[in-house]
Amino acid sequence: MKVAVFSAKSYDRQFLDAANAAQGHPHLLTYYDVLLRPKTAALVEGHDAICAFVNDDLGAQTLERLAELGVRLVTLRCTGFNNVDLATAARLGITVTRVSVYSPYSVAEHTVGLMLMLNRKLHRAYNRVRDDNFSLEGLMGFDLHGCTVGIIGTGKIGQIVAQILHGFGCHLYGYDPYPSQAFREIGTYTTLETLLAASEIITLHCPLLPENEHLINATTIAQMKRGVMLINTSRGKLVDTKAVIEGIKSGQIGYLGIDVYEEEDSLFFQDLSDTVIQDDTFQLLQSFPNVVITAHQAFFTRNALTDIARTTIENLTCFEQGLPLANEVKQASP
């Protein structure tokens, strides 16, 4: 198939080309290092499919344009599909596939990395030592052993986070509308309210859905323990950033670690070091000493990129050959 790959970085080319070659070069891939938007959709002319990533816009307007240009398949090289208007895709006869499984260790390990960094203030310690400042003042942490951690969403990633933290000796609370036996063996399911009130660390691993946008807001923050550590490596819009800033300023939130941000599409995956960032909320967040931000890199291991590329090429091949689509995404029936 002829495929237009959007938001394409050097590493996307490297891993997708390798996976395409390993499967006998079945597809012609054209790479565009721009976000897919209604304005950039014209680039797909002459292609049968597009390959998109987390911040590409697959809303109704873009999909209409893709359909006009003859696109029949949207294949996402990520797990989340919150950026796709599935109802419009179905109406236009565009099939949507994703990478439903890839190394969950990548995101889980990064999540625990953020917890350790914030707790032991490694971001500050690193800079101090480089500046020949060997004082420990202000660097005190706490033992993770014995800590209560609340995991919101105990699917593939949440489950691995739970296993790692179980190894540290943490007590685990889980909240998930679809509980799993694997989590029950090491943790306890509870209500969201109890999880919020009882946890010293809260970490988000649920998908972004219309019903849980701003799951973390002024009301839920007020229900948390004072000085809580909040980690979000899932999707930015799960968190009301302005409410979190108020929580940090009042001391209700003691630590914040995020790999995702609600307005990340104008910032992440680009080098903006020579520009003036216009997003004041983001800049304010950056100014706090107890906040660590990474730019949507939790997935970024060579194991994950290998899995993602292989599945993406397989999704394209299955679609082209009319084979069953194990990774098709459809709108849930009402």
List residues near ligand NAD by CB under 6 A.
79-80, 104, 107, 152-158, 175-178, 205-209, 212, 233-235, 259-260, 296, 298-299
Residue 236 CB, nearest approach to ligand NAD (Å): 9
Q: 175 has which bridge partners?
A: 152
* CB closer to ligand NAD, 268 vs 319: 268
* CB closer to ligand NAD, 296 vs 310: 296
296 is catalytic: yes
Of 205, 264, 310, 314, the catalytic one is: 264
Residue 104 CB, nearest approach to ligand NAD (Å): 6
CA 90 – CA 81 distance, rounded (Å):
14
Report the greatest alpha carbon distance in the chain.
64
Helical H segments across the chain, by residue range: 10-22, 60-68, 86-92, 104-120, 122-130, 156-168, 181-184, 192-198, 218-222, 241-250, 280-286, 302-320
Residue 141 CB, nearest approach to ligand NAD (Å): 24
Structural element, H or E, at residue 149? strand 148-152
Of 65, 77, 98, 296, the catalytic one is: 296
* CB closer to ligand NAD, 153 vs 257: 153
* CB closer to ligand NAD, 23 vs 82: 82
Residue 182 CB, nearest approach to ligand NAD (Å): 11
Would you state the structure tokens that stand for residue 108, as one six-digit string? 């889980």
Please provide the DSSP assignment of 8-27 as one string: --HHHHHHHHHHHHHTTS-S
Residue 162 CB, nearest approach to ligand NAD (Å): 11
* CB closer to ligand NAD, 30 vs 294: 294
Q: 4 has which bridge partners?
A: 30, 50
Give yes or no for a contact between 232 and 204, defined as CB atoms under 8 angstroms apart. Answer: yes
* CB closer to ligand NAD, 52 vs 206: 206
264 is catalytic: yes
* Helix, strand or coil, per DSSP, at residue 292: strand
235 is catalytic: yes
Instruction: Report CA torsion sign: 32, 35, 36, 42.
Output: negative
Give yes or no for a contact between 1 and 320, defined as CB atoms under 8 angstroms apart. Answer: yes
Residue 183 CB, nearest approach to ligand NAD (Å): 9
Q: Which residues are within 8 A (CB) of 288 and not within 5 positions of it... i.e. 6 or more apart?
A: 248, 256
* Helix, strand or coil, per DSSP, at residue 74: strand
Question: Which position's Cβ is nearest ligand NAD?
Answer: 155
* CB closer to ligand NAD, 216 vs 243: 216
Of 235, 262, 310, 314, the catalytic one is: 235
Would you state the structure tokens that stand for residue 330, as one six-digit string? 């459809």
Residue 43 CB, nearest approach to ligand NAD (Å): 25
Whole-Å CA distances, 89 to 35, 66, 100, 134, 235? 19, 10, 18, 57, 22
Q: Give the active site residues.
A: 235, 264, 296
